[in-house]
Structure 1
Amino acid sequence: MKKSFEESLKELEEIVRQLEKGELSLDESIEMFQKGMVLSKDLSKMLDDMEKKVSILIEDEDGNIREENFVRTGDDKGGL
């Protein structure tokens, strides 16, 4: 079963906490780092997929509402 975005993010945050503590062996650290990289890639894909689904409802001058695709503006640092 595929994890939700929130579950994956929580797991990635826990991996970061464990790595930051510095209490893991080198082998454990490498394993956790690899797992974190996979989670990071999966989370990035989930965000990209969600962004493609987002649409904006816009009202024109005549009061008609139309749906448009979401267009991201700004830089790639999370700005919209």
Structure 2
Amino acid sequence: MAGQSAADGGPANAEAERPFETMSFEEALAELEAIVQKLERGQLDLEASIAAYERGTRLRRHCEEKLRQAQLRVEKLALDAAGEMKLEPFAPTE
């Protein structure tokens, strides 16, 4: 597969080596989506597939943690007993 150097360990490997801890949610999600596409298309050999799966798992956890942190920061406006506006933590309905 000469035309797929990124999938065979070419330039994309430099991206894969980037520490996910420094990535924004959007960056981590974009890389995770790219990994999923490569795995679904069978573009990687067995060892590269295992490494990509492991990295994808770490990226998924990183994204989940970023979302959890964002949820803790979200606040909503509410009326208190006196009719005054106040901020309170957002509690999602599940």
State which structure, 1 or 2, has the greater radius of gyration over its C-alpha atoms.
2
Q: TM-score, normalised by structure 1?
A: 0.83
Report the 3-state secondary structure (helix = DSSP H, G, I; strand = E; otherwise coil) of the residue aligned with 1:56.
Answer: strand
Cα shift at 1:66: 0.5
Cα shift at 1:64: 2.0
CA shift digits 1:52-76 (9 cap, x unpaired): 11000124576521001111211xx
Report the 3-state secondary structure (helix = DSSP H, G, I; strand = E; otherwise coil) of the residue aligned with 1:43.
Answer: helix
Q: Which runs of 4+ in 1 moved over 6 A?
A: none
Which segment is superposed worse, 55-64 or 43-52? 55-64
Report the 3-state secondary structure (helix = DSSP H, G, I; strand = E; otherwise coil) of the residue aligned with 1:73.
Answer: coil
Report the 3-state secondary structure (helix = DSSP H, G, I; strand = E; otherwise coil) of the residue aligned with 2:22.
Answer: coil
Q: How many residues matched?
A: 74
Higher relative contact order (CA 8 A, sep 6+): 2
Aligned match of 2:91:
71
Letter aligned with residue 35 of structure 1? R
Q: TM-score, normalised by structure 2?
A: 0.72
- Provide the rounded CA distance (Å) in 2 between the counterparts of 1:2 and 1:48: 16
Cα shift at 1:2: 1.1
Letter aligned with residue 19 of structure 1? L
Which segment is superposed worse, 34-43 or 58-67? 58-67
Q: Does 1:53 align with 2:70?
A: no
Q: Does 1:42 align with 2:42?
A: no
Which segment is superposed worse, 39-48 or 53-62? 53-62
